[in-house]
Amino acid sequence: MSRFFIVLGIIYLIGAFYGFQAFRTLVKNPYLQIVYGIVFIAVLANVYLQFSHFDRSHGMTHKMGFAVGLFLAFMALGFSAGIFMLIEDVVRVFTWIFGKAFQSGEAASSGLPSRRRFMSQIAIGVAAVPFLSLLYGMYKGKYDYQVLKHTLEFDDLPDAFDGYTITQISDIHSGSFDDKEKVAYAVDLINKQESDVILFTGDLVNNVASEMHTWKDTFSKLNAKDGVYSVLGNHDYGDYADWPSEEAKKANLDELKQIQKDMGFNLLLNESRFLEKEGQRLALVGVENWGEGGFKKAGDLEKAIENIDKNDFKILMSHDPSHWQYQVVDHPYHYHLTLSGHTHGMQFGVEIPGWLKWSPVKYRYKYWAGVYEKAGQFINVNRGLGFIGYPGRVGIWPEVTVIKLKKKSKEIV
């Protein structure tokens, strides 16, 4: 067991201990108190057991995902309640010190003030929110698909493409799926948008190509008038699995590429295609993964644009939004629209349209969910269709994006 997991376990137990202070203040039955302790220890033991049998060549199993989800939920419960108990302990200690210093007689000789029941009630009530939310995210949130629609206007959009629609999906992470009916519903939902083209921006699997064997027929049903196009994400290269040889790793990537071809996906590997309509065209550019912060940099934008003209209207597919930030937005070519994914919105956050959009991932990625504009260029960061790690979603729901391209009308002066 790595030092990281040992430290994480210690932190978990500290949270469980402090949370227990609130629980035992409210629940006096000793048997229920014992059950509390047993459940917390069992959740920790289960996640350790799952990771002790972790095979990187196969990736995270559904049992492991469930163990991680429960671990996070119970950690949130313990820590959320524990914070209130810690604050109360600080107050109790200062009250006791004050009594020792400035009071006399029986008041000065008394021990620490007892815990207040109402503070424990608040602690448990507040802690129940993240705990139940994380459980809900595992049970329902991970398949609570949302269709988000955007209309983007451009001065130089070819007239023939005025009203052209794009459905973007990203981050399928097929190895995490556990409900064929729900995934089939997602594919049907995508097709019902009846967009002109479907663009998939990477991470078909978690670790290995074989994850798609179960889902190949399902995703083969994706269809659009102008086809389905895709690029690779950081998880698609097999970098997070153990391979007996480089040949085996290459064979895995070759299989993944073949699977996409068999499903009818047009995989763009640092290359471009033209979408043509009424004698006019859009340049569709697809780069391999390019990401800051230690992620794979296989993307070659210069190679991808070799056969397009600087003045073409360009749609760029690039899995990691940091690519847009560091290489695309200041490129000599003007990339009208970039489509990315990768962040998942961390699968956790709070979004109230027009009021609030927050997730911890914003402290890692400047552009992490939704549409952004800079220098007359747009990027849409899709929140992802699937999930990985924590087997759920809370507040940041799985996303199907529909983007309508519009010709900006010229104002008559």
Q: How confident is the model at residue 96 (pLDDT cuts 50, 70, 90)?
A: low
Region 196-206: mean pLDDT is 97
Residue 143 — φ and ψ, nearest 5°? -120, 20
Region 337-354: mean pLDDT is 95
- DSSP, collapsed to helix, strand or coil, labels residue 25 as helix
Residue 391 pLDDT more than 90? yes
- Residue 100's pLDDT is 64
Region 49-67: mean pLDDT is 80
- How distant is the alpha carbon of residue 338 from its chain centre? 19
Q: How confident is the model at residue 249 (pLDDT cuts 50, 70, 90)?
A: very high
Residue 223 pLDDT more than 50? yes
Q: Identify whether the C-beta of residue 138 lies closer than 8 Å to the C-beta of residue 391.
A: yes
Region 178-201: mean pLDDT is 98
Residue 112 pLDDT more than 60? no
Tell me how far apart the alpha carbons of residues 284 and 275 are, in angstroms, rounded to a whole number. 7
Tell me how far apart the alpha carbons of residues 391 and 347 are, in angstroms, rounded to a whole number. 9
Highest mean pLDDT among 34-48, 107-121, 181-195: 181-195
Residue 62 pLDDT more than 80? yes
Strand-pair category, 197-200 with 228-230: parallel
Q: How confident is the model at residue 105 (pLDDT cuts 50, 70, 90)?
A: low
At 77, list the tokens: 């419960």
- Residue 98's pLDDT is 64
- In one-letter notation, the amino acid at residue 290 is W
- Residue 21's pLDDT is 85
User: pLDDT (tens digit, 9 = 90+) per residue, 296-345?
Assistant: 999 999 999 999 999 999 999 999 999 999 999 999 999 999 999 999 99
- Residue 230's pLDDT is 98
- Residue 413's pLDDT is 46
Region 170-196: mean pLDDT is 97
Higher pLDDT, 120 or 200: 200
- Which residues are within 8 A (CB) of 358 and not within 5 positions of it... i.e. 6 or more apart? 349, 350, 351
- Residue 298's pLDDT is 97
Tell me how far apart the alpha carbons of residues 94 and 90 are, in angstroms, rounded to a whole number. 6
- Residue 22's pLDDT is 86
* Domain spans in the chain, listed from the N-terminal domain onward: 3-139, 141-407
Question: Would you say the C-alpha torsion 121, 125, 131, 135 has a positive or negative sign?
Answer: positive
Superfamily of domain 141-407: Metallo-dependent phosphatases (3.60.21.10)
Q: Identify whether the C-beta of residue 405 lies closer than 8 Å to the C-beta of residue 161.
A: yes
Higher pLDDT, 371 or 412: 371
Region 91-95: mean pLDDT is 72
- Residue 68's pLDDT is 92
- Residue 110's pLDDT is 57
Higher pLDDT, 120 or 33: 33
Q: Identify whether the C-beta of residue 120 lies closer than 8 Å to the C-beta of residue 371.
A: no
Task: Give the predicted TM-score (pTM) of the model.
Answer: 0.90
